Amino acid sequence: MSVTMAAALNTALHDAMEMDDGVVVFGEDVGVLGGVFRITDKLQERFGGTRCFDTPLAESGIVGTAIGMAMYGYKPVVEMQFDGFTYPAFEQLVSHLAKMRNRSRGALTTPVVVRIPYGGGIGAVEHHSESPEAYFAHTAGLKVVSPGTPGDAYSLLREAVSQPDPVIFFEPKRRYWSKEEIELPIEREPFGTAVVRRAATSPGDPASAPTATLFAYGPMVRTCLDAATAAEDEGWDLEVVDLRTLVPLDVATIVDSVQRTGRAVVVHEAQVFAGYGAELAARVTESAFYHLEAPVLRVGGFDIPYPPAKLEEYFLPDVDRVLDAVERSFAF
């Protein structure tokens, strides 16, 4: 059946709550309303107001409460209504949620999932359109996830709820209504397992089309698949690797792809400067330097605050900007 990413996330939460009475869902407007994007729709109706409930507009308090509940054996799944609303909770996330296991020498764990709708593309303002994943990928003690398909949204969220440690779960809001033919429930994917969404057809053959790998996650997976299809008109053969989890990172799949195609382009919505793509470029260079035909290139947002909605199309990477980077890679 055709399932949207929003429906897949809702089903994942439903199934997790059904399986474990310790799973609780709370945040701003997630109870009665079912969330701004309806990801928690009907969960309060099904499981009651003690397991799915609304909170005050106080993100630091939401995460602080989740930490306390996790220390007492619950598995809280909390929602930051929009990406930019995460910043008031930053101190709780970085100073306490990420560090509790290490601070207590393993005596206390905090199995909290923090869901964050993120990224642009829906015509919203800056605090509703940012991509702050690099902040959290840089924080030891946190796992960082971003699904690119409805199937992965289900499987990775179920996996996140099962984790003994905190997970920052970035949901690409511009893909909430993307669809995939799947039957839920589906098997959970373990963290740290990237997937080749589109394989290059003839890597390593000098007589065939030039090859390169596009690395993406979350909202840019679809963009890169569209770019790979458009590249066929140019006679280019592009492989697309969906990272799925930024922490832990599946370095083996990344290196294997680059060893076969010889070129790498990293694509994300966040600003390029000091973004997650810089870490990926470094890993590829360290592990596959002698297989590279060109430097690792990056495509992302510009080094400016997120622009007004009417200008976001110029900020966000699209097919043309991805193919421009691929062409520059082939020119080396």
**Residues 129, 122: Cα–Cα separation, whole Å:** 8
CB 121 within 8 A of CB 176: no
- Residue 240 phi, psi (nearest 5): -120, 120
Percent helix, strand, coil in the chain, to 5, is 40, 20, 40
Find the DSSP H helices in 20-107.
43-47, 59-71, 90-91, 100-103
Q: Which residues pair with 116 in a beta bridge?
A: 170
| CB crowding 126-161: b at 16 or more within 10 Å, else e | eebbbbbbbbbbebebbbbbbbbbbbbbbbbbbbbb
| Type and span of the H or E element at 324 | helix 319-330
The one catalytic residue in 127, 128, 268, 291 is 128
Sorted by sequence, the CB contacts under 8 Å of residue 225 that are 6+ apart come out as: 197, 198, 240
Determine contact, residues 9/154, Cβ cutoff 8 Å.
yes
Using only C-alpha atoms, the chain has a radius of gyration, in whole angstroms, of 20
128 catalytic? Reply is yes
Q: Report the distance separating Cα 93 and Cα 66, nearest Å.
A: 10
Active site residues: 128
